[in-house]
Amino acid sequence: MVRTNWYKDAVVYQIYPRSFKDGNGDGMGDIKGIISKLDYLKDLGITAVWLSPCYMSPNDDNGYDISDYRDIDPQFGTLDDWKEMISGMHERGIKLIMDLVVNHSSDEHEWFKESRKSKDNPYRDYYFWRKGKGKNGKKPPNTWVSRFGGSAWEYDETTREYYLHLFSKKQPDLNWDNPKVRAEVQDIVKYWLDLGVDGFRCDVITYISKTEGLPNGFLGGDNMFTHGPNIHKYLNELNEKVLSKYDCMTVGEASGVTVEQALLYTGEDRHELDTVFQFEQVEANAYFRIIPKKVNLKKTKHVFSKWQAGLYGHGWNSLYLENHDQPRCVSRYIVDNPNMDDFCRKQSAKMLATAIYFQQGTPYIYQGQEIGMTNIEFENESDHVDIMARNILGQIKKYAPFLKRFALKVLDIFSRDNARTPMQWNADENAGFSDAEPWYRVNKNYKKINVEESYADKNSVLNFFKKLISIRKGNEIIIKGEYRELYDSHKDLYVYDRDYNGAKLRVICNFKNKDVKYADSAGMAYAGQSLILSNYDTDEKYEEVKVLKPYECRVYMFT
């Protein structure tokens, strides 16, 4: 099988199905809804969709807890609907990347139902079961902390043992050390590839190998379950047995990954994954790696440049600012106010896209990012519906109630609910997302920020994205060019070049809401130049640029 590495020239759009478009009027996004928007996706110019989970699930973590890996959850439709969707995508030249969530299953998966029945059940070793510690065995087996807060262990009465769950207690971790589990995963992957899927986004894939004996470790056990001892062996096996036989791609979610580790996961001679999502760009702007702090452009640029240089010629980057777990980028990087000045919002949404998507790598656009959607205003505690936010608040109320106000403040920007509000299609009731009351509140700014309005406005974020995507397509300098950062210590400007075959692309972005001086004295010894993209109306020549306006971005091409 020839692997074409098609992902190197792809532009991926992420769909979070419950919030994209409701097709059957029950307030929940679904597959019919996606089908009704395929022409929109084609018009946008994207060439692949990453679809967040739509498998059978009790939805404790919105589908990231799967109870049947081979079927579609009825709230999203049927397998036949799914087949219609993938054909519709393929007809339009759009590939489909499915979410592969196999670090854990749902506790309602048949395997777990069997596993918890008795200590000698054939499925017992599909999961991690351990005796409790302490006199009466009522203390968790180790000090690992769940990603959603609290102990990573849950006591189960039936067999009086604990099981491991690095996420919610309804997401028990699968035991990849058991060859039967690995064979099950291989079968699942093969099943979807045979149905025509083009790739997988591998959920929390760096957690699948746990250190033998499950020792306590540091930071809630992090170093004992991230990039564990057998991870490369297991990924290599999955690649050899299944992935290598298809022209597909993989992108692994890899929180905490360094450039060096990324090369181990994705090096072409290693036959594991194709690409990873790194989180250093998020961590650079956070306390303890997760609590968001004011964005520091210098640090962020440093991370971008480190990854660009580190993977050049050896690996491949994944370019993203948003996804279903991250705040909206205009809120995170610019101003966290859903009513922010509209001009600022639009200009900064375009500038941020330019800053990230001219780098080398595969661009990922999260639904709504292309119209500059923002975070929401949380008015009540009950507005937090995401399991992560609810668990964190639960733990705080139990152990440190005096921190509640602080926690709510952090959640304003940090909460995953920010990214999960229904897609804003038009100014009608429920933003055109559904005729019924949506499963989660629509952002109140939908009358102003929506797809229909974006089509009507020639200066919209959407029209800018369309242009950017069309410039990117098949453009060798963007795909292959070498990256070099300029003015790396500048605190407001992000400037970089892409060089290829004697041509140069220069990307200039002003992250400040003010005019910033730009006096490039180096001079450019090129015959031709053109301004191929900008977010203000200008035809200034490169050498005439003296000042960049608030959130201005420009891309010059020199030949």
As a whole number of angstroms, the distance between CA 86 and CA 266 comes to 27
CB of 391 to ligand GLC, least distance (A): 11
Contact 173, 127 (CB under 8 A): yes
Would you call 253 a catalytic residue per the annotation? yes
Contact 69, 220 (CB under 8 A): no
As a whole number of angstroms, the distance between CA 97 and CA 200 comes to 5
Interhelix angle 404-414/387-399, nearest 10 degrees: 170
Determine which helix (DSSP H) or strand (DSSP E) holds 46, and give its type and residue range. Answer: none
Which two three-digit tokens encode residue 262? Answer: 């990324």
CB of 325 to ligand GLC, least distance (A): 5
3-state SS record for 281-346: HHHCCEECCCEECCCCHHHHHHHHHHHHHHHCCCCCCEECCCCCCCCCHHHHHHCCCCCCCHHHHH
Q: Which residue is catalytic, options 65, 81, 154, 253?
A: 253
Q: Which residue is catalytic, options 161, 203, 237, 272?
A: 203
* 446 lies in the binding site for ligand GLC (CB under 6 A): no
Count of residues that bind ligand GLC according to CB under 6 A: 9
CB of 478 to ligand GLC, least distance (A): 27
* 61 lies in the binding site for ligand GLC (CB under 6 A): yes
* 417 lies in the binding site for ligand GLC (CB under 6 A): no
* 204 lies in the binding site for ligand GLC (CB under 6 A): yes
The residue among 304 and 320 lying less far from ligand GLC, judged by its C-beta, is: 320
* 50 lies in the binding site for ligand GLC (CB under 6 A): no
CB of 389 to ligand GLC, least distance (A): 11
The residue among 324 and 554 lying less far from ligand GLC, judged by its C-beta, is: 324
Q: Which residues, 307 to 326, sit near ligand GLC by CB under 6 A?
A: 324-325
As a whole number of angstroms, the distance between CA 226 and CA 182 comes to 18
* 203 lies in the binding site for ligand GLC (CB under 6 A): yes
CB of 165 to ligand GLC, least distance (A): 10
The residue among 387 and 469 lying less far from ligand GLC, judged by its C-beta, is: 387
| Buried-exposed string 427-450: b where 16+ CB fall within 10 A, e elsewhere | eeebbbbbeeebbbbbbebbeebb
* 64 lies in the binding site for ligand GLC (CB under 6 A): yes
CA 428 to chain centre: 29
Q: Which of 31, 35, 98, 101 binds ligand GLC (CB under 6 A)?
A: 101
The β-bridge partners of 156 are 161
- Sign of the Cα pseudo-torsion (342, 345, 347, 349, in order): negative
Q: Which of 167, 320, 357, 511 binds ligand GLC (CB under 6 A)?
A: 167
The residue among 14 and 347 lying less far from ligand GLC, judged by its C-beta, is: 14
Binding mask 230-259 for ligand GLC (x = CB under 6 A): -----------------------x------
As a whole number of angstroms, the distance between CA 398 and CA 306 comes to 41
Q: Which residues are catalytic?
A: 203, 253
Residues contributing to the site for ligand GLC (CB under 6 A): 61, 64, 101, 167, 203-204, 253, 324-325
